[in-house]
Structure 1
Amino acid sequence: MVSVAIFDYGAGNIFSLKNSLEKVGAIVDVITNFNDKNTYSGLLLPGVGNFDPAMNSIRDFSKIQFQEYVGNMPVLGICLGMEMFFEKSEEGKEKGLNVIDGEVIVLPSSMKVPHMGWNNLEIKKPGKILEGVENNSWAYFVHSYRVKPDSNDVITAESDYGIKVPAVVEHDNFFGTQFHPEKSSTVGKIMLENFLKECRQ
């Protein structure tokens, strides 16, 4: 079995994510800081909370810097967790983790915000986290912002809301989904299994 950690920003219930990971064979701890030596094979940044408080919880309460703690360990960012990979967000003033060049912008006013519901995934290119996921599979989204990478090379899947919204990004050991795999039925299960497979490498 593979051991992973979910970082808890203190913003909401992450039981469903923990439960989904355990169902696909992971041993899961919930952590609130990076004070201890990393003994995990993977880290998840969940999709609950707001940008500035989440960034502050990573930076202010940990003795070990995020990048130092993570090293080459696979990291899965979900919704807000994915948005934190970028340089900055219109949701707040804090700097992001800056592991992917680009920013996070609010969804257009023409849309109902927050956007909630099932949308299909247009797979743009193969990705480790998408292995076994069919093109136009459906996933469950709840969000008010979208990522805007400097390079489209990191985008492996999009969703079409009338505008193209990056749905899955991959960059080195960082994997991000704008949707919630723990709420996305079989498709989400496949992606969590793929992440755990990366953690076992």
Structure 2
Amino acid sequence: MRINFGIEKANLQYGETIVIQGAGGLGLNAAAVAKEFGATVIVIDGVESRLTMAKTFGADYLININEYDTLEKRTQTVLELTGGKGADVVMELTGVPAAFNEGIHLVRPAGRYVSIGNIFPGKMMSFDPGLMTRKSITIISVVRYNPWYLNKALQFISKTIHKYPFADMLDAEFDLSEIGEALDRSAKREVTRACIVVSRD
């Protein structure tokens, strides 16, 4: 729901380019939504299996941070993929504070940056506010969504259920007693989306 809401708040248009930072469950959903908007989709992540899955969710280009292992390399790659201008929209879905600073480098002048993944206050990073100002970037933060977006999100899944492999997002099941392991493996990016199974025995 937040993804649909965030993309609409960013006013993503047909033919624009979006960079999605993170190919977890939110990132995969964002790729599919952006693709249905008619955007060119670039996904950045460091887990090969997630990048492979991102392709099935509509990603046009994949950037593996292990291969493009510096901010400069990733920025240059995005510039090359966007004809030298940068992405129209960049969406942060990693929960990693440093991704915010990186995103400012990836977005074009007068572009839009959507922050969704960083939801925990108190995590700090180095940041270049002068670059943000000189590029006249619009910052959009999203943590809640209007209630009617729940229906819009369900309609989106219903309409595209046979086009994108939504069920494959849930790639690991855990019992309720294993919730600690599920959280740890999710934090380590070992699973895309963990499913907690509550037995009714």
Scaled by the length of structure 1, the TM-score of the pair is: 0.32
Higher helix residue share:
2
Higher strand residue share:
1
